[in-house]
């Protein structure tokens, strides 16, 4: 079964740091671009970051650029999001998602994890 | 960034109804448009990509159309399990960001 499982979400103080993880299974992880998408409580979806299948290219939403870093370890079938200088507005459910097409960056997202909640509060 | 605007923001419909949701892009995005369904407490589910390609396993009552700036998601015969929030997303801009519409909530009349 194709599956993504996120972890690492907690309550953290403003200015703090956190690393989210996403464990992939059931597909050839290193063939697919991966994304992080977030959803603030009661709000819509916001794309956060993209990493290419080989990790060679990364992109970020302006709202997180310079504070968040996406990475992957293809040997561990894992995706990560390092989050620094956290703000109250980063409070959200963070999903990892898989690209539809192999070896392609520009695709929709066909598999999503269940999400991990990050709360930034003092 | 490309702005995606969905209409309506919410609608009430009955089982068996034909439902149409519209998504408009602030600039042309060719056919780089996806539709997702999200139920409360659940992750989004891909319904359609490339504007009109039905994702594997999605019922044929869902269909998508459009290109350029104007797109439509149609549910031909609404079922009870279709009551949810629907989002469009463009993945045309490169480099990203890839933006979502604000969502359309389909509620029971």
Tell me the pLDDT tens digit for each residue of A84-101.
Answer: 999 999 999 999 999 999
Q: Are B51 and B58 in contact (CB under 8 A)?
A: no
Nearest to A119 by CA among A3, A20, A34, A48: A20
Tokens 């310079």 -> residue:
A66
Nearest to B101 by CA among B46, B33, B28: B33
* pLDDT mean across residues, chain B: 97
Size of interface A-B (CB pairs under 8 A): 59
Neighbours of A28 (CB within 10 A): 11
CA distance A74 to A66: 24
The answer to whether the CB atoms of B46 and A108 lie below 8 A apart is yes
Using CA atoms, how far residue A60 sits from A53, A102, B65, B76, B97, in Å, is: 16, 21, 29, 37, 7
Give A-chain residues touching B102 at CB under 8 angstroms. Answer: 44
Strand, helix or coil for residue A70: strand
Per-residue tens of pLDDT for chain A, all 122 residues: 999 999 999 999 999 999 999 999 999 999 999 999 999 999 999 999 999 999 999 999 999 999 999 999 999 999 999 999 999 999 999 999 999 999 888 899 999 999 999 999 99
In B1-109, where does DSSP find H-type helix? none
Q: Are B2 and B29 in contact (CB under 8 A)?
A: yes
> Residue B101: what pLDDT?
98
CA distance B22 to B25: 10
Residues of B with CB under 8 A from a CB of A: 1, 32, 34, 36, 38, 43-46, 49-50, 55, 87, 89, 91-92, 94-103
The answer to whether the CB atoms of A62 and B50 lie below 8 A apart is no
Nearest to A118 by CA among A24, A38, A46: A38
- Provide the sign of the torsion angle of the four alpha carbons A94, B98, A105, B47, taken in this order: positive
> Residue A99: what pLDDT?
95
- Sequence-distant (6+) residues with CB within 8 A of B31 are B50, B51, B52, B66, B67
Neighbours of B105 (CB within 10 A): 14
Any B CB within 8 A of A44 CB: yes
């Amino acid at each position: 079964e194709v599956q993504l499982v996120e972890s690492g979400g907690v309550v953290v103080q403003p200015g703090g740091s956190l690393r989210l993880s996403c464990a992939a299974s059931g597909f050839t992880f290193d063939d697919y671009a991966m994304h992080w998408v977030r959803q603030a409580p009661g709000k819509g979806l916001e794309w956060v970051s993209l990493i290419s299948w080989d990790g060679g290219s990364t992109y970020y939403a302006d709202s997180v650029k310079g504070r968040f870093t996406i990475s992957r370890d293809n040997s561990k079938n894992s995706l990560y999001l390092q989050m620094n200088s956290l703000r109250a507005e980063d409070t959200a459910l963070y999903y990892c998602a898989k690209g539809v097409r192999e070896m392609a960056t520009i695709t929709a997202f066909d598999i999503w994890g269940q999400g991990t909640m990050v709360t930034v509060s003092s | 960034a490309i702005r995606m605007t969905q209409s309506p923001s919410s609608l009430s419909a009955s089982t068996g109804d034909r439902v149409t949701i519209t998504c408009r892009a602030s600039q042309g995005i060719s056919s780089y448009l996806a539709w997702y369904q999200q139920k409360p407490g659940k992750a989004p589910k891909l319904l359609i990509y490339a504007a009109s390609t039905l994702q594997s396993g999605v019922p044929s009552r869902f269909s998508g159309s459009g290109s350029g700036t104007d797109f439509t998601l149609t549910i031909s015969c609404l079922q009870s399990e279709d009551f949810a929030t629907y989002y469009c997303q463009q993945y045309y801009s490169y480099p990203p960001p890839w933006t979502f519409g604000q969502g359309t909530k389909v509620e029971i009349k």
